[in-house]
Amino acid sequence: MTGAIKGRLWLVPAPLDHGCASQVPLPEVMPAGTLQAASQITHWICENAKSARAYLKRINDLSPLALPVREQHIVELPRAVHKHGDHDGSFDARALLASALLGHDVGLLSEAGMPAVADPGSSVVRAAHDLGIEVRPLVGPVSLLLALAASGLNGQNFAFVGYLPQDAAQRMQRIQALESLAVKQGQSQLFIETPYRNAVLWDALLKALAGPTRLAVSSGLTLAGGLTRSKSVKDWRALPAPITNDTPAVFAIGR
Amino acid sequence: MTGAIKGRLWLVPAPLDHGCASQVPLPEVMPAGTLQAASQITHWICENAKSARAYLKRINDLSPLALPVREQHIVELPRAVHKHGDHDGSFDARALLASALLGHDVGLLSEAGMPAVADPGSSVVRAAHDLGIEVRPLVGPVSLLLALAASGLNGQNFAFVGYLPQDAAQRMQRIQALESLAVKQGQSQLFIETPYRNAVLWDALLKALAGPTRLAVSSGLTLAGGLTRSKSVKDWRALPAPITNDTPAVFAIGR
């Protein structure tokens, strides 16, 4: 009655330098335990096979891989999942876990940071639970949490809400709704934006928010030149924007 | 007109084994870069000086400290901050940062995980920003984020709300309000409980939540025997509780 012993699903974090000009040395941001565990995995689910291979090569320099990169089994999440996320139950990821049912450990990887946090992947994790596959998260950098800790905003009650609307009027409304939550419930509100819209979002925030609201922004965390700045909106209005349009940033508001 | 060059405020994560029977080897969960940075800090702000010293001894075994443990300058956050948190502006932490104004790098440390996330410390970070002291978060384990990633719940929109009320009727109301947010806004809701009340909370969750709601729990993450389980409430009602009253747990609900 018993089948093969199932493999596990490992959630493997990636460094935060994806698409950046310079790379961070992995030992700066990755525990040796994470690299060692990742080096033993030979079956992968990822957003992009090319960057997964590049990351595996970096791991191999520190912790030799169980199989050469070209022999690793790598499958990509479908395009629709990249675009629209995969948390609404519309994508059934169980077929992606066939290797785990056959006994192979499988690694889930995103382009930067923790898979399934501010990134696709949750459909794969849900499928693992539904199939009785053990899920093991590994420690690594998570830009949201580094930004929250460094913001000085309330970290005992907070929300991450993803991207704000692109339409200017809708964005204004959304910012004010988030500010209202921050003020009335004391819940810090975090959000992100595509880098080339950073400056537009910054202007909208300074327009929409009340003077006493605290606005924090982090960019390039864990990288050279990374920074976090946190001030009242009133103070920000007298200063130049602390971010540019070329680096991913995390924004946070609170009181 | 220029004063001394200011030190920086480093946010130093701690392993998640505080108060646990066995310790996790630091290289499993801490990047070498984090340990190296921590080993050079000689001025600390922490919740408890005794556990800060114990942690510094563990760091010293891997990355020699710049000063012997007994010569390190360690100050504790006031008791009131431990009990009531420090995000409401009632505690002015600027005096704690006097060493940074004199040019010393200062480390902020909590008992487990990232300081100022699900733990006190945000008053110190706010004070650093207000004093123009650079804030640098270091990578390490964060139980909330590991639990969220491993839950399979929506990680692109989520909230952490801390502890639920202890009064049974109020707790029931709060659980249903959180479920309503999870269902209507697709926002995963995370919360924690003091370990000895885990079983009581679990029973309340199975009573209060609707059958189709997904309920996930993680306990002992990064430790031997750590686990994450995630199922519909309907399925959970037919199963024994997956957690006991002796390990810190993170709970999450979503659809």
Tens of pLDDT, residue by residue over B184-236, are 999 999 999 999 999 999 999 999 999 999 999 999 999 988 999 999 999 99
Of A31, A87, A136, the CB nearest to B154: A87
Dump pLDDT digits (tens) for A146-180: 999 999 999 999 999 999 999 999 999 999 999 99
Mean pLDDT computed over A115-125: 93
Q: What is the pLDDT of residue A1?
A: 41
Mutation for A interface: B134, B158, B223, B236, most A CBs within 10 A: B158
ipTM above 0.90, yes or no: yes
Q: What is the pLDDT of residue B164?
A: 96
Mean pLDDT computed over A50-62: 97
> How far is A53 from chain B, CA to nearest CA, in Å?
22
Mean pLDDT computed over A205-212: 98
What is the pLDDT confidence band of residue B2, given thresholds at 50, 70 and 90? Answer: low
A8 contact B CB<8A: no
Mean pLDDT computed over A74-99: 83
Phi and psi angles of residue A132, each rounded to the nearest 5 degrees, phi first: 75, 25
Residues of chain A neighbouring B85 (CB-CB closer than 8 A): 154, 156
What is the pLDDT confidence band of residue B82, given thresholds at 50, 70 and 90? Answer: low
Q: What is the pLDDT of residue B155?
A: 95
Predicted TM-score of the model (pTM): 0.96
B142 contact A CB<8A: yes
Dump pLDDT digits (tens) for B145-179: 999 999 999 999 999 999 999 999 999 999 999 99
Q: What is the DSSP letter of A95?
A: G
> How far is A118 from chain B, CA to nearest CA, in Å?
4
Q: What is the pLDDT of residue A246?
A: 85
The answer to whether residues B61 and B33 touch, using CB atoms and an 8 Å cutoff, is no
Mean pLDDT computed over B12-34: 94
Q: What span, in angstroms and rounded, lies between the C-alpha atoms of B107 and B74?
A: 9
Of B25, B87, B228, the CB nearest to A156: B87
CB within 8 Å of chain B, chain A residues 223-242? 227-231
Mean pLDDT computed over A193-202: 94
Residues of chain A neighbouring B144 (CB-CB closer than 8 A): 145
Mean pLDDT computed over B22-28: 94
Mind listing the domains of chain B with CATH numbers? 9-137 (3.40.1010.10), 143-254 (3.30.950.10)
Dump pLDDT digits (tens) for B206-220: 999 999 999 999 999
pLDDT above 60 for A2: no
pLDDT above 80 for A87: no
Across the interface, do A118 and B156 touch by the CB < 8 Å criterion?
yes
Mean pLDDT computed over B73-94: 81
B189 contact A CB<8A: no
Across the interface, do B119 and A222 touch by the CB < 8 Å criterion?
no
- Secondary structure of A158-222 as H, E, C letters: EEEEEECCCCHHHHHHHHHHHHHHHHHHCCEEEEEECHHHHHHHHHHHHHHCCCCCEEEEEECCC
Residues of chain A neighbouring B156 (CB-CB closer than 8 A): 85, 87, 118-120, 122, 162
A142 contact B CB<8A: yes
